[in-house]
Chains A and B, each alone.
Chain A
Amino acid sequence: MAAGDHLTPLLLQPERAPRLTLADWDIVVRQGRRAALLATLATRLDDRHLLKTVPERPRRHLQAAMAIAHRHAAAVAWEAGEIGRALAFGDVPFVLLKGAAYVAAHLPPAAGRLFSDIDILVEKGRLADAEQALLVHGWVTTHHDPYDQRYYRQWMHELPPLRHVRRQTVLDLHHALLPETARLHPDPAKVWAAAVAVEGGAGLRVLCPADMVLHSATHLFFDGELDHGLRDLVDLDALLRHFGNDPAFWPRLLDRADELGLGRPLHYALRYTTQRLATPVAAAVVRSAARAAPTPLAAPLMDALFSRALAPDHPTCATPLTPLARFLLYLRAHYLRMPLHLLLPHLLRKAWMRRHPERPPARPLNGELREE
């Protein structure tokens, strides 16, 4: 556990809540907010009837976070239906990914989860049809820069994000789980073939349990920039606890990781969920997944990096090495996405564009502020 992490212990043992002082809550609320886990914490306290033990001031923030999460869940469920209608128009089948899938399939990580976008998967051969059908229904691209368009279309596993013109919701359209240029490249056809219909979900489909866990692990350890690392780990923990109730799940998960070439992300997922969130996984399963562990030379380094990056991204959790750890993981994520001869020019351009944006910056207007 990172030095100042007050959030993780409370997520693990909500029963500790009544013992917290106001000064403790001052830190917990901020860490929870930054980690996008405040509503998750609130839900766990509420489930155990502990919310009323929290002093009024911090309790208001927990309740406000829950109100936002409820709205997000309702909006995501509704939006999934809209996407379904739009894609049915083009006769394009699709699968819901990540958070939207948890909501649609009523899975435990949905409780208290916040959303910034919705992710869906379509077959690569149907991308153009999907784009067309979505455009007709109001989803337009957000990246008009030709470089960005080329970056996404040629190298990535998703199109540039689409935004709905009226509702402003953002949709990520994937055709694979990882970029075309990535070190790991699980066969999208296999993932697609194993997807399952949601019970009572009006034709909505999600990944099969093993693939859902593997995708979540891959996203966290091989794709993301870890700004919400702890939240993603909490998702994984909730999925493993839920699916793991069925003993047949574990051998299927290990086999599937081999089949898709995702042994390494599964190893990380099991290592860090068991270590940090006490996820109940049989020792034999952890050992079996550890066959895909990094070399004995690299393993301590990865532990050192992830132990810092999986704490809430808040100053109260930072050690002197946290910024370096996060920076190295940022480089690693990019290195895993693209070979160096593509990556270096891309990162240089990104750094340049950050300093010299083409659009003038937003300004506060009439006492209401526009966000950056």
Chain B
Amino acid sequence: MKVADLPAGAVARRLRHGGLDLRLGPFIARIESPIPAVTEGITQLWAEAAVVERGFADFHVRLAPPAGLRRWFRPQVLFEFDGAAPFLPLPREQAFAFLEWGLNWCVANHAHQYLVIHAAAVERHGGVAILPAPPGSGKSTLCAGLIARGWRLLSDELTLVSLATGKVAPLPRPVSLKNESIEVIRRFAPDAVLSAPCHDTTKGNVAHMRPPATSTARDGEEAAAAWILFPRFRAGAPLELGERSRARTFMAVVENGFNYHVLGGDGFDAVATLVDRCGCFDLTYGDLTEAVATMDRLAQEQQ
């Protein structure tokens, strides 16, 4: 059963009482929250996520108002991981974004059966492109553009490289878009489902894009990495695709590894194997259509 199959009101009811158990890629999260914005976010953006029976959950999370006067005065939301609050509260309107970020933290800190890289991952014709990049580089915009043109979304934020199989495991969750990217994607893909933007004082406006239903339906299918590609958006820049040395790619993957330090020798081997099998590139782009066409060409050549 999917979230979208639950009868009206059931999502809110389960979130309020006892929790909603959802399968997100390889993980099961038990989510509790009395906050309407969380219900809305899940109903709208996680519509295709599988609702599973009560059993073992990997992550028990709760988004709730903190105690005290802040309940009424500039309301806030607290993210709890199994009853403990690892973070300071945020303004209430960011409750759903907080759920997304909090779950990322859960995965990065506990899923050590994977090398967890801060990167987007998308797949076409069986080959996965890993896009590691610092915020502001246009990684999520490119990722959103690609999935709007038929690439499969594996993840927007956390690339999971299985230590057992060496392949990338999907964790298709909403793509987080900031500021101008929101408008760019609205124009580029008018059919994409986007949440109403919420305002964050450090990031500006943030909106989420629903993953394509076909990506969520295939969220159990791992795929082999084919490219590691470092996108960089520069307004008005001509498209430039340059090869990048394996040594520099290796170091950049390590830098973007959330749990590289935990994995020790296994982590080193995983990165080395990954970099060895992939084409490594820098991609500078000023126009999303051009960038997507270049990626399509890469995928065609690979086939």
Contacts and interface: CB of A to CB of B under 8 A. Distances in A.
Interface of A: 22-23, 25-26, 29-30, 33-34, 55, 57-58, 60-61, 63-64, 67-68, 70-71, 74, 314-315, 361-372
Contacts of B266: 67
B262 interface: yes
Nearest to A315: B83
A367 B104 contact: yes
B134 to A, nearest CB: 8
Given A22-B56, A63-B113, A30 B82 contact: yes
25 contacts: A23-B54, A29-B56, A33-B82, A34-B84, A57-B28, A57-B58, A60-B113, A61-B58, A64-B112, A64-B113, A67-B262, A67-B263, A67-B264, A68-B262, A71-B261, A74-B264, A361-B88, A362-B87, A363-B88, A364-B98, A364-B101, A366-B202, A369-B87, A369-B102, A372-B85
B86 A371 contact: yes
A366 B135 contact: yes
B157 interface: yes
B102 to A, nearest CB: 7
B87 A371 contact: yes
Given A22-B56, A315-B83, A368 B112 contact: no
Contact of B105 (A61, A68, A369): A369
Contacts of A58: 56
A23 B56 contact: yes
B33 interface: no
A365 B202 contact: yes
Interface in B146-166: 157
A366 B54 CA distance: 33
A314 B60 CA distance: 13
Interface in B241-266: 261-264, 266
B87 A26 contact: no
Contacts of A363: 88, 90, 202
The 7 closest A-B pairs by CB, nearest first: A366-B135, A64-B112, A22-B55, A22-B56, A361-B88, A26-B56, A67-B112
A64 B102 CA distance: 19
Nearest to B134: A366
A71 B1 CA distance: 40
A369 B28 CA distance: 21
Contacts of A372: 85-88
B91 to A, nearest CB: 11
Q: Residue among A60, A362, A369 with the most chain B CB within 10 A?
A: A369
B176 interface: yes
B58 A369 contact: no
A369 B258 CA distance: 12
Contacts of B84: 34
A43 B84 CA distance: 25
A26 to B, nearest CB: 5
B295 interface: no
A61 B100 CA distance: 21
Contact of B104 (A29, A314, A368): A368
B210 interface: no
B112 A68 contact: yes
Given A71-B262, A314-B83, A372-B86, A26 B112 contact: no
Contact of A70 (B98, B104, B202, B264): B264
A71 B202 contact: no
A63 B105 contact: no
Interface string B117-146: 010000000000000000100000000000
Contacts of B58: 57, 60-61
Nearest to A25: B56
B56 A369 contact: no
Contacts of B88: 361-363, 372
A68 B102 CA distance: 20
B56 A368 contact: no
B203 interface: yes
Contacts of B264: 67, 70-71, 74
Nearest to A26: B56
Nearest to A362: B88
Q: Residue among B55, B111, B118, B202 with the most chain A CB within 10 A?
A: B55
Contact of A369 (B60, B101, B111, B113): B101
Nearest to A314: B83
A364 B89 CA distance: 10
A370 B102 CA distance: 10
Given A363-B202, A372-B88, A23 B55 contact: yes
B35 interface: no
A36 to B, nearest CB: 12
Contact of A55 (B56, B86, B102, B113): B56
Contacts of A371: 86-87
A64 B113 CA distance: 7
B90 A364 contact: yes
Contacts of A315: 83
A326 B264 CA distance: 37
Given A25-B56, A64-B113, A370 B87 contact: yes
B277 interface: no
Nearest to B58: A57
Given A367-B101, A369-B101, A371-B86, 11 more contacts: A26-B56, A30-B60, A58-B56, A61-B110, A67-B262, A363-B202, A367-B104, A367-B176, A368-B105, A369-B105, A372-B87
Contacts of B184: none
A67 to B, nearest CB: 5
A80 B43 CA distance: 52
Interface string B90-114: 1000000010111011000011110
Contacts of B203: 366
B4 interface: no
Given A30-B60, A58-B56, A365-B202, A63 B112 contact: yes
B37 interface: no
Contacts of A26: 55-57
A78 B56 CA distance: 37
Q: Residue among A64, A365, A371 with the most chain B CB within 10 A?
A: A64
